[in-house]
Amino acid sequence: MSHEPPVVTKSFLQFEQEHIMPIPENKRTGTNWSIFAIWVSLNMMPLAVVTGAVASGSYGLPVGWSILAIVAGNVIGAFGAALHAAQGPHLGVPQMLQARAQFGYLGASLFALIAFIMFMGFFASILIVAKDSLLVVLPEFDGTLAIVLFAVIGIVLCVFGYDLLRKTMVWLSIFIGIAVAVSMVMFWMQPEIVTSRDDAAFNPEGFFAMLAIGVVWQLAYAPYVSDYTRYLPKKTGPKTAFWSTYLGLMLSSVFVMSLGVLLGAANPENPLAALGDHLGAIGLIVLLVFAVSSALINGVELYSAVMNGLTVLQSNFRVTITSRVRVWTTIASGTLATVIAVLGQGDFMLNFEAFLTLLLYVLIPWSAINLVDYFIVHKGEYSIADMFMPDGGRYGKWNAVGLWSYAIGLAAQIPFMITPLFTGPFAEPLQYIDIAWLVGFAVTAVVYLALVRSSAKRKVLQA
């Protein structure tokens, strides 16, 4: 009789089982390349192109100044996002679930809900831009049907989970990168197109507004970077997670948004249409690639929305997170976001710019608290078991220090805010240069650190 151990076959596709629970070491299949490819692919979509077009189209900046603002904003923002990503291999849990250490078991669910709304907004926005790309090529195609079809693709990918998303992103990063590179080369060979705007001129408010958009574009990834780096082996370490995330996010964002700058200069009203207008058949092929790839990429946005939705369910309703719960949460969330996309097709660019601005103000204080707590206060040492205790364990249900710091940081931004609905009193003296995010980050970080140390001293005196 043979005593050889049985051969364990591993299927090509793994259905996700861990959901929001810590990823065990033997299931950490992520690599440096897979993390880099995920973030490269996520920016290779028409939404990034349209965002870059804001600089030359909406703000009227020359091509050179537009690209400089995009580079500066993305370099700054990606640094913050990558610092959050460095937490993944060490802790092994989703990014916003780790916020329980800063805000408490129930307090963190408020921020998970905010992140859930944000990812739902991005999922809907990507559906709209993907539909627009398709309609440039096939103008007779029904726009609502296109949104629904693209949504179904993203939902199916998300249902399978991380493994399928990771493999999809690796291949997409290659194909879409080629399409974007070809488009940029062809536009640079036609300088009369991208320099045709006579009214293009440097203006500080436009430059710094675009810089802020670059920052928020990157920080919008911060609430879910660890959702993917948690699949890196712990021995990989934070440095590898940091650089794989930083380079993937920053390089691809600048690359794709720069194409958007050229398209915005060529056609400020409809930048995506400039691909077909000026690049002929190749431009139409690129638009089709964008449309299909956006549907695939969107699975990542929905995946992170679901991770945050599950965190809210577990925190507030004591729901046991199973595969069935995750799948139905995915379907329900994807359906809701699809309805939002169908209803929000009109005035998309105006609404999207307002969405990005508000997103920056909301994310900044959370980011400051998370980074200060992880790198300065706790130096990465947390009790993962306590994060899953209904009473919050050592972190409690509500952490007053974290919540008050967030409120103060959010309030500090108000005098400097520049939004379609509200403009702070300090905006005009500053020539409408948006520095609210800088003020918010600095104030939040200082206040949180001061309150943590004050609270620690009180506990020592009481002991």
DSSP for 315-371, please give it.
HHH-----HHHHHHHHHHHHHHHHHHHHHT-TTHHHHHHHHHHHHHHHHHHHHHHHH
- Listed residue (360, 433, 439) closest to 206, CA to CA: 433
Nearest 5°: phi and psi at 339? Answer: -60, -40
Supply the pLDDT for residue 350: 60
What is the C-alpha R_g of the chain? 22
What CATH number is given to the structural domain containing 204? Answer: 1.10.4160.10
Helices 436-462 and 204-219: crossing angle, nearest 10°?
50
Q: Does the residue 238 lie in any domain?
A: yes
108 and 97 in contact (C-beta within 8 Å)?
Answer: yes
Helix and strand element counts for the chain (H, E):
18, 0
Q: Does the residue 434 lie in any domain?
A: no
81 and 216 in contact (C-beta within 8 Å)?
Answer: no
Supply the pLDDT for residue 348: 64
Q: Does the residue 94 lie in any domain?
A: yes
| Helix extents (H) in 99-202 | 100-103, 107-137, 143-160, 162-188, 191-194
431 and 425 in contact (C-beta within 8 Å)?
Answer: no
Q: What's the domain range around 232? A: 34-363
Supply the pLDDT for residue 323: 85
The structure tokens 């020592």 sit at 460
Q: For 416-444, what is each residue's pLDDT tens digit?
A: 998 877 889 998 898 888 888 899 999 99
Supply the pLDDT for residue 459: 73
The first and second tokens of residue 287, run together, are 């638009």
What separation, in Å, do the N-terminal and C-terminal C-alpha atoms of the chain show? 66
Spatial CB neighbours of 299, under 8 Å, sequence gap ≥ 6: 153, 154, 155, 156, 157, 158, 164, 165, 168
The first and second tokens of residue 226, run together, are 């660890």
User: How far, rounded to the nearest angstrom, does the alpha carbon of residue 132 sit from its chain's CA centroid?
Assistant: 21
Q: Does the residue 68 lie in any domain?
A: yes
HSE of 121 in the Cβ direction (CA atoms, 13 Å)?
16
Looking at the 3D structure of the chain, how many domains does it have?
1
Q: Does the residue 6 lie in any domain?
A: no
- Coil/strand/helix, residue 423: strand
218 and 74 in contact (C-beta within 8 Å)?
Answer: yes
- Listed residue (444, 437, 372, 357) closest to 408, CA to CA: 444
Supply the pLDDT for residue 3: 46
Supply the pLDDT for residue 16: 63
Q: Does the residue 172 lie in any domain?
A: yes
The first and second tokens of residue 40, run together, are 């490269």
Residues of the chain with pLDDT under 70: 1-18, 162, 170, 193-198, 346-350, 352-353, 356, 460-463
Using CA atoms of 246, 252, 256, 257 in order, give the dihedral in degrees to the nearest 10.
Answer: 10
Q: For 239-264, what is each residue's pLDDT tens digit?
A: 899 999 999 999 999 999 999 998 88
329 and 310 in contact (C-beta within 8 Å)?
Answer: yes
Q: Give ∠ CA 178-179-182 in degrees, rounded to 5.
A: 85
Q: CA distances (Å), 204 to each of 6, 60, 207, 343, 375, in order?
A: 68, 11, 5, 35, 34
Q: Does the residue 256 lie in any domain?
A: yes
Q: Does the residue 304 lie in any domain?
A: yes
The first and second tokens of residue 95, run together, are 């990014």
User: Quick one: which H or E segment has residue 304?
Assistant: helix 273-317
User: d(Cα 52, Cα 47) in Å, to the nearest integer?
Assistant: 9
Sign of CA dihedral 111, 20, 84, 92: positive
Query: Any bridge partners for residue 423, and if so which?
Result: 418
User: How far, rounded to the nearest angstrom, does the alpha carbon of residue 345 sit from its chain's CA centroid?
Assistant: 21
Q: Give ∠ CA 358-359-360 in degrees, rounded to 5.
A: 90
Supply the pLDDT for residue 14: 63
The first and second tokens of residue 156, run together, are 């199916």
